[in-house]
A and B are shown apart, each in its own frame.
Chain A
């Protein structure tokens, strides 16, 4: 069992829909990262958070430390949001060793 699990693995949505991607982790972490990988491979860091909620444009990331769970929400989804979304946790004390989930492939259809 992976220490960082994402669900769903694949997600298809219609343009305009509200999207939620979930990330659960079984180990203690000091921070949770959300990354976006577009077709063609480039990876972009979206959020790093250790508590509460962060918002950037139509993207919202939340984390519940007690429940070891984080969610990434996309409001008013658009086909350009189609990508793989990856969550990763930073181990406390092992500052640079991120533990990655296997990603959620999102396809937003027009």
Chain B
């Protein structure tokens, strides 16, 4: 199916465990992003990637690791989950950077992954 898919949609884990959230897009978009959404904070950028093998930190990268060995996949790993990482995580993609002024350059979001760390 075409689009951007996240898995799992819901995950409950315990403090200290490793968790990986998957993101897959079928458009061959160059840019991919991971955001977290928490009450009172809005969406905050964790990491982004401009192309395969190119990643960079966003606003709140601590405690997270990303990789992008293939254009279509951008997994987010919490190496040792903490309660403060309980959140809803959104993956997004765009053909170009989020500020490139082209009508075709639209951010497309996945459905979100709700993570609870006990």
Residues of chain A at the chain B interface (Cβ within 8 Å): 2, 4, 29-31, 33, 35, 41-45, 48, 50, 86, 88, 90-92, 94-98, 100-103
Contacts and interface: CB of A to CB of B under 8 A. Distances in A.
A contact patch SS = strand
Interface of B: 31, 33, 40-45, 48, 50, 56, 58-59, 88, 90, 92, 97-101, 103, 105-109, 111-112, 114
A31 B101 contact: yes
A107 to B, nearest CB: 17
Nearest to A98: B98
A90 B106 CA distance: 13
A96 B98 contact: yes
A96 B112 CA distance: 19
A104 B107 CA distance: 19
